[in-house]
Amino acid sequence: MNKILLLFLFVLVNGVCFSQQALKDNQFEGYVIMKNGDRKEGIIEVKNINHPWSFQETIKFFDKEMLNKEKVKKSDKSELKPGEAVEYGYAGKRYVLVSYTNNNQAEGNTLTAGLGALKSATQTKHFAEVYREGKISLYRFYSSPPDFYVTSGEAEAKNMAAFIEECKTTYDILIEKGEEKAKAFDDINIKKFFKDCEFVVKKYEDKKYTKQPVKGLKSMIKSSMLRGEALAAAALEMIVDYEANCAK
């Protein structure tokens, strides 16, 4: 009798487990930290897993127990804008709130560039992926194509497709120090940013870093080609020297 009861309980428990809905490809088990400091465990949902800028925008969040329902309804999910939540994370990745106006929006065609610039100028709060945390922190930041665009002709359509692919595969690096707001690494004045570290400033002036003083159009073009890992590595060179020689 006891064996039959145990078998029945085993089947019942496993039946419940197997009935739980599987996560979709744009859903992740993780946590959010709210503006008031409350931490909540649950399921994070982004708009499109293939668009890395989706992770920087409004996310949806719901309790893991909702997966036991036949269907997770829209009303079961909370929409969290950057600012309502100050951090979220999953699988070892962390996204934190940054205040940043993207002045380096990648260009598509004339129309899409204008719409992209408008979107960037009006949206100043984002989630940005933590690339490196310390006295000086670095974040990955992806430019985002406009949500709506119109193309006229095959050439513009191809240009737009290339623009979206570029946004998917390249990213900028934001740098943040102390109470200063995050800025694009390419936009900071190196001498002013590291003014409390003569070692870094002198090495920069002597052109011993990957990131070179910009002089003339040729240098500007060469500098602007640094993106993604190459740009992050250039920033890390200076940060490592700063923390080894000047950080208190």
pTM: 0.80
Predicted pLDDT at 101: 82
Determine if residue 207 is left, alpha or beta; phi over 0 gives left, psi from -120 to 50 gives alpha, anything else beta: left
11-32 pLDDT, tens digit each: 444 544 445 689 999 999 999 9
Buried b (16+ CB within 10 A) or exposed e, 130-154: bbeeeebbbbbbbbbbbeebebeee
Predicted pLDDT at 201: 96
115-127 pLDDT, tens digit each: 444 455 556 899 9
Predicted pLDDT at 88: 98
Cβ neighbours of 183 (radius 10 Å): 18
Q: Count the residues in the chain.
A: 248
CA-CA distance, 145 to 165, in Å (whole number)? 10
**Tokens representing residue 191 in the block:** 């001498």
At 44, the pLDDT band (50, 70, 90 cuts) reads very high
Predicted pLDDT at 122: 52
pLDDT at 3 over 80: no
Predicted pLDDT at 124: 85
The most distant pair of C-alpha atoms in the chain lies apart, rounded to whole Å, by 88
CA-CA distance, 27 to 47, in Å (whole number)? 9
Q: Say which amino acid occupies 31.
A: Y
Find out whether 33 and 82 touch, Cβ atoms under 8 Å.
Answer: no
| C-alpha separations of 63 from 95, 157, 184 in Å | 19, 41, 35
Strands 59-62, 39-45: pairing kind? antiparallel
**Domain boundaries of the chain, sorted by first residue:** 24-188, 190-248
Q: Which residue has the higher pLDDT, 218 or 44?
A: 44
Determine if residue 49 is left, alpha or beta; phi over 0 gives left, psi from -120 to 50 gives alpha, anything else beta: alpha
CA-CA distance, 153 to 134, in Å (whole number)? 48
| C-alpha separations of 13 from 7, 10, 64, 117, 197 in Å | 10, 5, 17, 54, 61
**Tokens representing residue 36 in the block:** 């008031």
